[in-house]
Chain A
């Protein structure tokens, strides 16, 4: 019998489809988005560090640029990614070994509240420094 399958791309789109879904699905999507963001950042970071090989002439002008408000804002985005991914990852680890499974939604809300407090605190530190 001839049968149809969704394309891989269409199926992959289901990873981000949160319509009508539960809180766990939002946590799943947040972890993917922040995870991909952190991997991209890691590569950018390595490329940027390679500028050190050019000596002060290459590095000092770059440092001036990253002290601009735009880059400081990007720092806050990066810290947000760390906090959300790390704390959500802790929830996944705990439930993954059978701890707090029934409280996973409350755990997600609690950890994200912690992340929000951390983001605000870090944003204040970044922009005041």
Chain B
């Protein structure tokens, strides 16, 4: 019996010929991404030795620039850690700042066939690069830095065969909401994306799917490799790598087809991402106080460009705030150079520096009591973005931009014909 992509990487990195669901394996970790939350005084321990500083990346992303004294002290601790071990791949507040998962894409840190861990739950984002990547806790991060290893329980894999091409104004976010709405959570299981339809999806669009797979509670979310992916990584990282394909007789818990051409704009209603998707029409007309585009799921240049396409020559409604947070300063600077930022700002959007920011209720756009927000980010749990009485709807950047113009939840097809 063959293995899925995740199983093949877990087997190789644990030195076994084969792994099966239920096995517990200890694997070599190629990349450990440490972020500012890990350095919080309540979580971090002073590390006295690391296995290999070359394997470590440090990114101050959740609260950058620092929003409180606690987050500022986390940054101080992070800088000391970097200095102590001579870590070269360091993303502090500045030109190389960004959300860790976007930096992994921008700088090609995740090589196909490799293992990556990071202290944030949306780490499965990096699985877009045909690797296995998992969000872990701070103790795992410290353990990974010290030993260069991590333990994983092997889960069964669900495969999604994507076919067709997305219609106009329908995005990978809508494709994700379709999957999350129809199939619910995938707890303790891996998700594998492949099929003829992936060729029509950009790397950024695919990354929305892998990032959002954290909301499916997936262990690993991994894309099959193709030329576009290989070129993306080669353009950013000179290290050789070997892509991993599933065995032809790989065993899946389920194989499900998603025909992208049949999809429509969807929104997740407040408090849960899974099992909560409905057509935009079902929420149309709901008045919104805040609209937000950003995060590791929807802060790419492509997301900002789509929002600009909707907003060009139009204005954000007077009672509504539109906040846009690029996922990295590379994205921010490219958007500035190409004129996208001007279009967004002229329309009335407030563009913030690259950070996790309002997505996690950390800073720059926290919601007040009884406010309503529509967000193109990662998560809409009660209290996630501020006061627990606030309601958080989730949609694509196009849906959020269209809603910001009208001041009520709006189908983006009104603006993207």
Q: Is B truly associated with A?
A: no
Chain B positions within 8 Å of A, measured between CB atoms, are none
Q: Which residues of A are interface residues toward B (Cβ below 8 A)?
A: none
